[in-house]
């Protein structure tokens, strides 16, 4: 939708080809199975969306989304221990994905410059190896096939994109692809939160420790609109995801801390468990193809999709749309699509390497990536990453920079800067936390008063 929005700023007519009928409200739909699981929009991405579509954050908050300040409003057990709740530096917007999509879509389509062809599937590209001239589509109601001619085709079909196949059908060589697959699986259930908890209790995150050579298990409790908690339990390959309702709570208890289980033990479930096995890191390198055809670009998950645990997919997709906006301000010359595509590809590099370089350490991770940063001797890098992680949970200065990077507000290269190195040397460390930093009033709100409370500094 963001890509369509920016195209409509620069081109005469824009047609969105979509398999689903896009709902007239915040509802689930078949083409977006991931919407049944938690989705956080990091501040780096929220700012991009705000630039493209001013007022979106306010509309989301008015519709019940929560703005979570990092780390004040999040209680998180990282691989290296409990994170101190330092004053917020960045934020994330938490709400159901259907609400997020609806707020964005409603505003974009209200402009009236975009036509949506619902229940229509893109089946192949038209044109030849030098120039894409349109898309062949199929109506899902009656099976009719049709050619939609276009000056520019943008593939935004998501993680399941058939682009590589479509390009070879035009006679082009296969686009290079990297895949790092830790076997991520998600199981999600929505609960009624205790009165006042979605506004007054922090978001909770219990992560695995990738240094322990067993499959990783994770769990989060995130506030949503309408007084709900969305609870997602996840694992890396071999982690035995709970797919039945009765297995959900015992799995939550098996995490490195029982906080998630304690929170949901007496909460009323509002949905069954939804499970998905989608979460490999996958990136295409279209810019490396010598003869990239004119008239074609690729954005969002079609270009690069990541392990969702890091919450970077939507922000990255928004950034690819923003680059499209910038580049289409000038007319596309012959041969220009490849340069625009290279600029789009550059902005997915940070989320790609952050996710892939972390996932590669999980047991059972399958690596089919040629990225030289993921091969060879990585012991020194591990040592540095572990040092940063262990300091970020206890030093506000180090935490600020790490949070800037994680929220996609600052380039990852900042972690290698002299400024950061000197912060690491000077960083004042708070005492190690041995329990979740929850205040007595917060514990009382969720009726866990008897759990040992550690006052947040």
Ligand X SMILES: Cc1cc2nc3c(=O)[nH]c(=O)nc-3n(C[C@H](O)[C@H](O)[C@H](O)COP(=O)(O)OP(=O)(O)OC[C@H]3O[C@@H](n4cnc5c(N)ncnc54)[C@H](O)[C@@H]3O)c2cc1C
Pairing verdict, β 185-192 and 228-235:
antiparallel
Distance CA 318, CA 47 (A): 9
Of residues 41, 57, 53, 42, the one with CA closest to residue 90: 42
We find the least distance from the C-beta atom of residue 386 to ligand X, in angstroms, to be 24
Any bridge partners for residue 447, and if so which?
none
Cβ proximity to ligand X, 160 vs 416, nearer residue: 160
We find the least distance from the C-beta atom of residue 163 to ligand X, in angstroms, to be 10
Cβ proximity to ligand X, 46 vs 374, nearer residue: 46
Kindly identify the residues of this chain, within the stretch 217-246, that bind ligand X according to CB under 6 A: none
Structure tokens at 334: 């012959």
We find the least distance from the C-beta atom of residue 224 to ligand X, in angstroms, to be 12
Q: How far is CA 74 from the centre of its chain?
A: 18
* Binding of residue 365 to ligand X (CB under 6 A): no
Cβ proximity to ligand X, 160 vs 457, nearer residue: 160
Look-up: residue for tokens 């083409």? 31
Interface pick for ligand X out of 5, 39, 283, 358 (rule CB under 6 A): 39
* Binding of residue 90 to ligand X (CB under 6 A): no
* Binding of residue 436 to ligand X (CB under 6 A): no
Look-up: residue for tokens 């468990």? 273
Residue 66: which residues within 8 A CB-CB, separation 6 or more?
73, 93, 94, 95, 198, 199, 203, 223, 224
Cβ proximity to ligand X, 219 vs 300, nearer residue: 300
We find the least distance from the C-beta atom of residue 206 to ligand X, in angstroms, to be 16
* Binding of residue 409 to ligand X (CB under 6 A): no
Kindly provide the residue ranges of all beta strands, DSSP E only, lying in 128-270, ordered along the sequence. Answer: 132-139, 145-149, 153-155, 177-181, 185-192, 203-206, 217-224, 228-235, 268-269
Cβ proximity to ligand X, 69 vs 81, nearer residue: 69
Structure tokens at 435: 């329990």
* Binding of residue 301 to ligand X (CB under 6 A): yes
We find the least distance from the C-beta atom of residue 335 to ligand X, in angstroms, to be 26
Distance CA 60, CA 93 (A): 8
Look-up: residue for tokens 């306010």? 58
Which span (26-34, 190-198, 265-273, 290-298) binds ligand X, by CB under 6 A?
A: 26-34
Binding mask 172-211 for ligand X (x = CB under 6 A): --------------x-------------------------
Pairing verdict, β 296-298 and 153-155:
parallel
Cβ proximity to ligand X, 76 vs 395, nearer residue: 76
Structure tokens at 305: 């999709």
The footprint of ligand X (CB under 6 A) covers 17-20, 31-32, 34, 37-41, 121-122, 156-160, 186, 276, 278-279, 300-302, 308, 311-315, 317
């Amino acid at each position: 939708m963001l890509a369509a929005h920016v195209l409509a700023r620069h081109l005469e007519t824009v047609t969105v080809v979509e398999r689903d009928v896009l709902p007239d409200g915040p509802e689930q739909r078949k083409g977006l199975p991931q919407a049944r699981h938690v989705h956080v929009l990091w501040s780096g991405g929220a700012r991009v969306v705000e630039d493209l579509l001013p007022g979106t954050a306010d509309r989301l908050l008015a519709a019940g989304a929560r703005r979570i300040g990092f780390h004040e409003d999040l209680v998180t057990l990282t691989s290296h221990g409990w994170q101190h709740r330092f004053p917020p530096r960045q934020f994330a917007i938490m709400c159901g994905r259907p609400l997020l999509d609806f707020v964005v879509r409603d505003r974009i389509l209200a402009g009236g410059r975009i036509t949506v062809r619902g229940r229509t599937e893109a089946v192949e590209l038209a044109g030849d190896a030098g120039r894409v001239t349109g898309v062949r589509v199929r109506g899902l109601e009656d099976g009719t096939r049709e050619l939609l001619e276009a000056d520019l085709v943008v593939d935004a079909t998501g993680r399941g994109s058939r682009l590589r196949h479509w390009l070879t059908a035009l006679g082009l060589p296969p686009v290079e692809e990297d895949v790092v697959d830790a076997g991520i699986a998600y199981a999600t259930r929505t609960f009624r939160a205790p009165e006042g908890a979605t506004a007054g209790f922090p978001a909770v995150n219990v992560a695995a420790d990738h240094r322990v050579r067993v499959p990783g298990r994770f769990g989060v409790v995130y506030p949503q609109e309408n007084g709900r908690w969305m609870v997602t339990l996840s694992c890396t390959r071999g982690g035995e995801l709970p797919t039945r309702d009765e297995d959900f709570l015992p799995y939550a208890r098996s995490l490195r801390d029982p906080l998630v289980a304690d929170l949901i033990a007496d909460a009323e479930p509002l949905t069954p468990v939804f499970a998905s096995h989608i979460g490999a890191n996958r990136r295409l390198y279209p810019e490396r193809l010598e003869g990239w055809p004119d008239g074609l670009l690729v954005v969002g998950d079609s270009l690069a999709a990541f392990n969702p645990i890091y919450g970077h997919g939507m922000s990255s997709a928004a950034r690819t749309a923003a680059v499209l906006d910038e580049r289409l301000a000038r007319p596309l010359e012959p041969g220009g699509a490849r340069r625009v595509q290279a600029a789009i590809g550059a902005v997915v590099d940070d989320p790609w390497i952050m996710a892939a370089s972390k996932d590669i350490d999980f047991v059972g991770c399958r690596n089919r990536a040629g990225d030289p940063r993921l091969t060879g001797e990585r012991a020194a890098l591990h040592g540095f990453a572990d040092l940063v992680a262990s300091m970020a949970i206890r030093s506000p200065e180090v935490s600020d920079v790490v949070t800037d990077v994680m929220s996609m507000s600052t380039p990852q290269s900042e972690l290698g800067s002299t400024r950061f190195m000197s912060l690491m040397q000077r960083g004042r460390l708070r005492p190690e936390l041995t329990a979740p930093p929850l205040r007595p009033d917060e514990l009382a709100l969720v009726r866990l008063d008897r759990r040992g409370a550690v006052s947040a500094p």
